[in-house]
Amino acid sequence: MIKAIYRKYNLNFKNPSGTSRGILRTKETWFIILDENDKTGIGETGLFRGLSIDDVPNYESKLSWVCQNINLGLNTLLKECSEYPSIQFGLEQAFLSLKSKNRFELFPSQFTKGEKSIPINGLVWMGEKEFMKNQIKEKLTSGFSCIKMKIGAIDFDAEIELLKSIRKEFSSKEIELRVDANGAFSPKNALDKLQRLSALEIHSIEQPIKQGQVHEMAELCSKTPLPIALDEELIGVYSNEKKQELLATIKPQYIILKPSLIGGFAGSKEWIKFAEHNKCDWWITSALESNIGLSAIAQFTHTLQNHLPQGLGTGSLFTNNFTSPLEVKNGTLRYNPVLNWNFNLT
């Protein structure tokens, strides 16, 4: 018999982090902890307030129900949690963790042996121009060759100037620039803004307009001068039929997969299958999980052998993250097996 409990944990940002949705100072997360025959399994259910489709009043009661009914087994529980993608992700991790020799090593590979690394983008948060400029300098000196900049919170002209300042020093062959608008543009002005961005040889833009405007997004993707990546657009799309329909209608150039928000490993694999059918490329991004969830996503990502830079560099954002073998070096995420985990919720 498996016993299960859940625990809440608040992650504190080292620096308040700006997005087009506002300033983030803390990130609430939850853990499912399994116990069977003196073995422990851990999974993080990375709820993201204001973004997750399962940010609902009965979230904690659903977690409680899952723990009380844990012996129904993983497949049944995943079906019962079809509208709780973050809980699905936590369950997948917890059951893999329980079965593994090392509870933190869910997908043993050359990555977890420390022999291979994953290329990642350096994330630049929104804020005052000088703050963003300093972050860009820091990422460049740290060896990143791909930088992702969140835009849409300050004056667009100021953001264009920041991007221009990078392009003056580094060509698109030297530094790949991605931008993430988090839906900040309106359908009326989006194309004009995309044209200004394309002059700076931007690799791609994530979610230029708010999700749910399917026909407007489809039109934008058909006319865009630079590749568009769907991100929030994938949240809350549950059935395979709806996933296929969405990608066939919008025809994006990329999709971005956040396992906590789209149903974990299984949900990510479904989206990848439909994306590839529609000749659409993809990459994987964390959604501000602790190192528990981040490590699980990184290990999973390595198994997929996607060679684009992934969005997995968020582990160092928090003051009270768990000590882990994850290290960011020269624009890559590595797993150093010499380093130990310290998972302590107190």
Question: What is the rounded distance in angstroms from the CA atom of residue 312 to the CA atom of residue 284?
Answer: 8
Enumerate residue ranges in the chain where pLDDT < 50. none
pLDDT digits (tens, 9 = 90+) for 307-336: 999 999 888 889 999 999 999 999 999 999
**16: which DSSP letter?**
E
Fold of 3-99: Enolase-like; domain 1 (3.30.390)
The confidence score (pLDDT) of residue 136 equals 85
CA torsion through residues 233, 234, 239, 242, sign: positive
The confidence score (pLDDT) of residue 37 equals 94
The confidence score (pLDDT) of residue 132 equals 79
Judge whether 305 and 107 are in contact, CB under 8 Å: no
- The verdict on pTM exceeding 0.75 is yes
Question: What is the rounded distance in angstroms from the CA atom of residue 289 to the CA atom of residue 260?
Answer: 8
Q: Point out the residues that are catalytic.
A: 150, 258
The confidence score (pLDDT) of residue 243 equals 97
The confidence score (pLDDT) of residue 20 equals 56
- Choosing among 3.20.20.120, 3.60.21.10, 3.40.50.720, 3.40.50.300, the CATH entry for 118-335 is 3.20.20.120
CA distances from 118 to 249, 275, 326 (A): 32, 21, 11
Contact residues for 226 (Cβ-Cβ < 8 A; gap 6+): 194, 197, 198, 202, 203, 204, 205
* Same fold flag, 3-99 and 118-335: no
The full DSSP string for 51-105 is T-TT--TTHHHHHHHHHHTGGG-HHHHHHHTTT-HHHHHHHHHHHHHHHSSSTT-
Would you list the domain boundaries of the chain? Answer: 3-99, 118-335
Closest CA to 235 of 55, 66, 65, 79: 55
179 phi and psi angles, rounded to 5 deg? -125, 150
Question: What is the rounded distance in angstroms from the CA atom of residue 304 to the CA atom of residue 283?
Answer: 10
**Hey, which residues does 323 pair with through a beta bridge?**
342
Q: Report which residue type is found at 104.
A: F
Residue 164, number of CB atoms within 10 A of its CB: 11
Question: What is the rounded distance in angstroms from the CA atom of residue 102 to the CA atom of residue 131?
Answer: 40
CA torsion through residues 69, 64, 285, 199, sign: positive
